[in-house]
Structure 1
Amino acid sequence: MRFPRVIRLDESDSRVYEPPSLPSEWAVSGSFAFVDRDPALLHGKPGQAFRSGFLGTESFGWSTLVAVEEISDEEHAAVLERLATHFMARYGAPDRTTALRAARDEAEFAASLCEHPLHTLLAVERRVENGEIVEEFRVVRPTGADHARVRLWGIEDDGDPS
């Protein structure tokens, strides 16, 4: 099965998010983290997480990019267990059965994003429309698996010294 995995091309996530996710941890969309918050009141690092973060399933930190990777059955089961525990501890799921159901739903959605070639990079953009969180996912297909050569942004010199 394919599943989103945090990828860190540089150290910007460690400055943009609090907390940042760990490189190579499995990730989910994470929009559930904002259902009880008013996104209009989110500024700084929480606002950045709302607008463009994937949620890691070990650190429960945020990442700008994930890559489509193969997840083993054992790793997938561990993701479900960690998510269920998180839903109980952080969001007050009433019991393990309910928490596991929510974890499965979140993991199924995350896996559905991965119907792309391996190593495809995914980014998310979130906003609120008509009182609901809307997510749009963008795809970047690098040539080969050498992510170090992928340049997402840079500074261009226009020749103007001012």
Structure 2
Amino acid sequence: MKLARAIHFDESDTRVYPSPARTGEWCISGGFEFSNWSDADLSGKQRQAFSNGWLGLETFGRVTFVAVTQIEEPERAALTDALAQHFVSVYGAPDIDAARPVAADEIAQMIEMCDDHDPNTLLTVARELTEAGVRETYRAIAAQDAGLEQFAIHGSLDE
């Protein structure tokens, strides 16, 4: 079973999101956060979170890139409980037992998406508001297509 972890290539996420996700934390789309948004809500850092941000399941911050990797069932169960608690604390779910199936569905959707990709595949999300609600599209960048030279800073330690 696979899920995605937050990955950073530079510090830009710390500047563009109101609350950035931590490198390495498990992530899901988190589009539910925007279900009642309108164009009036889309400004500044909130616009960036809406447009391109995955949701971290520890900090509940946002990140631009995630990388597909293996996850074990005990980790999945813990994430489900954490997300269910988030639904109670932030979104007013009546209790964790009522929130758990919804949290499990959110995580299952992300697992299903990740299972279609090889480990280390990078994923991005793009959202737009439509008359029918929030529309999400995803892009995958295969690990072999994302060469290190695209992101590495080259130099010498001898200088």
Same fold (TM over 0.5): yes
Cα displacement (A) at 1:10 = 1.1
Deviation string for 1:24-61 (max 9, x for gaps)? 00001011111132244311111000000000000000
Q: CA deviation at 1:128?
A: 1.3
- Residue 103 of structure 1, CA deviation: 0.3
Looking at structure 2, the residues matched to 61 and 150 of structure 1 have their Cα atoms a distance apart, in angstroms, of 28
Amino acid corresponding to residue 106 of structure 1 in structure 2: E
Give the CA deviation at 1:129.
1.6
Greater fraction of residues in helix: 2
Q: Helix, strand or coil: the match of 1:143?
A: helix
The count of corresponding residues between Structure 1 and Structure 2 is 150
Query: How big is the alpha-carbon RMSD for the aligned residues of Structure 1 and Structure 2?
Result: 1.7
Q: Which runs of 4+ in 1 moved over 6 A?
A: none
SS at 2:128 equivalent: strand
| Cα 1:71/1:39, change in 2 over 3 Å | farther
Structure 1 residues not aligned, in runs of 5+ = 153-162
Contact persistence 1:9–1:148 (CA under 8 A): no
The CA deviation at 1:148 is 7.7
Q: Secondary structure at the match of 1:118?
A: coil
Q: Report the equivalent of 1:108.
A: 108
Percentage of matched positions with identical amino acids: 40
Q: How far apart are residue 100 of structure 1 and its match?
A: 0.2
TM-score by length of 2: 0.88
Relative to structure 1, is the Cα distance of residues 17 and 118 closer, same or farther in structure 2, using a 3 angstrom cutoff?
Answer: same
Compared with structure 1, are the counterparts of its residues 109 and 27 closer, same or farther at alpha carbon in structure 2 (3 Å cutoff)? same
Note the residue ranges of structure 2 that are not aligned, 5 or more in a row.
152-159
The Cα of 1:70 is off from its aligned counterpart by: 0.4
Residue 69 of structure 1 is matched in structure 2 by: 69
* Superposed counterparts of 1:113-124, under 5 Å: 113-114=113-114, 115-124=116-125
